[in-house]
Amino acid sequence: MKFVILIMILSLAFNVAGQTAQTAAGLAPRQTAGLAPRQAENSKPNIPAIGKEAPTFSLPDLQQKYVALRDFCGPKLNKPWINKTKQVVVLSFFATYCIPCLKEIPHLEKLESNFNGQPVKFLLVNVGEEEAKIKEFLSGNSVKLDILHDRYSKIAEKYDALSLPRLYVIDKEGIVRKEQKGFSDPEQFEVELTRLLNDLLK
């Protein structure tokens, strides 16, 4: 009996010593397999920044035709036999209930008209709404820009479009050159965007 107790004491002492050694060596205590640290769970995914490559995507339009960012810009175009010229892309995330979004759209349409015939592609991305809701909105509002449908907000998450509108300008090589949250000053918006697009088209 004394021998068994002695073995138990020695085993306990060995475990304590092992844990102490791990701590002294800077190692974390053993964790349950399959559980990630809390910090990793809450880490924010990479979001596009000016000077960095824009996240690629492919989304359906309202006719269920898929449109990809690489159709227009990037190191290599998806369909160079169709889109032979790389384009600057102006990408705006919006929703039909977002009042600033609805104020921004006419100015984007004006800019699209001003750059007609030049390699600039304007795209609206609807975030999180049912297709029927978008079509209901369009029945009472004339929108000339191409609209893509991000039904489950997956692309909006990639672009950190948590508040709307959220606008990005992406150059011909697929690099982010401008990002803007919200919409407030129409005149300044048009002036700054016109200047940037002219610079990117040189």
Count of CA atoms in the C-beta half-sphere (13 A) of 122 = 22
pLDDT digits (tens, 9 = 90+) for 57-107: 999 999 999 999 999 999 999 988 888 899 999 999 999 999 999 999 999
Residues 76, 71: Cα–Cα separation, whole Å = 9
Running DSSP on this structure, what letter comes out for residue 163? S
Name residue 121's beta-bridge partners: 89
Phi, psi angle pair for 23, to nearest 5°: -65, -45
pLDDT-above-70 percentage for the chain: 77
Which sequence spans correspond to the domains of the chain? 51-201
Task: Quote the tokens at residue 167.
Answer: 């606008």
41 or 130: which leads in pLDDT? 130
Running DSSP on this structure, what letter comes out for residue 1? -
Structure confidence at residue 47 (pLDDT): 81
| DSSP per position, 44-94 | PPP---TTSBPPP-EEEBTTS-EEEGGGTSSSS-S-TTT--S--EEEEEEE
Structure confidence at residue 160 (pLDDT): 96
User: pLDDT class for 12, splitting at 50, 70, 90?
Assistant: very low
User: pLDDT class for 44, splitting at 50, 70, 90?
Assistant: low
Count CB-CB contacts under 10 A for residue 133.
14
Whole-prediction pTM: 0.78
- 62: CB partners within 8 A, 6+ apart: 131, 134, 135, 138, 147, 149
Task: Quote the tokens at residue 92.
Answer: 């705006």
The CA–CA distances, whole Å, from 4 to 12, 13, 16, 93, 116 equal 13, 14, 19, 71, 89
Q: Cis (ω within 30 of 0) for the bond into 165?
A: yes
Task: Quote the tokens at residue 181.
Answer: 């949250």
Burial per residue of 51-61, b for 16 or more beta-carbon CB atoms within 10 angstroms, e otherwise:
eeebbebebee
Q: Does domain 51-201 have CATH number 3.40.50.970?
A: no
The amino acid that residue 202 corresponds to is K
